[in-house]
Homo-oligomer: A and B are copies of this chain.
Amino acid sequence: MHFQAYFKHTVTDTGFRNTAVNGLVTGYQLEIRFPGYRGSHLSCITRLDLTVDGKKVDPQDLLFCLNGKEFLMAQIPELFVEYWFILDNATLKVAKEGGLAAGPHEIRVDFAYRVPYTGYYGNYIVAEGAHVRALPLAR
């Protein structure tokens, strides 16, 4: 039951909106917190799945954005010099032609991370949790 308290705060209130480049709506984005008490190297993230309105987003359509950079989900395990400061929100950008319709959507984030200093007797704790909430799409 350790490291469980923060998962329920993963998806933030703000930043859920459609994205556009020069008027072309390319998808949508939302913001998440790192669901732990301290920051983490991104390479410690072992799972990050986004489900919107009951449908899992294909990781190929997802970009993880932090520290002014944008990463493919497949790169996350390799990002051992990218630190997620606990007060910084990360942005998940989803490529989806036309974006999402106005109004509320159900957002679910399944998240897991290795606690990198817990190798007691050789095993690292992996903290796992999910956060589900309805969020209105900002205009």
Contacts and interface: CB of A to CB of B under 8 A. Distances in A.
Interface in A84-134: none
Interface of A: 69, 71, 75, 78-82
A81 B79 CA distance: 8
A69 B79 CA distance: 14
Contact of A75 (B71, B79, B81, B82): B81
7 contacts: A69-B81, A71-B81, A75-B81, A78-B78, A78-B80, A79-B81, A81-B82
A69 B81 CA distance: 8
A82 B83 CA distance: 13
Contacts of A81: 69, 71, 75, 79, 82
A81 B71 CA distance: 9
A98 B136 CA distance: 60
Nearest to A69: B81
Contacts of A79: 81
A71 B81 CA distance: 9
Contacts of A80: 78
Nearest to A80: B78
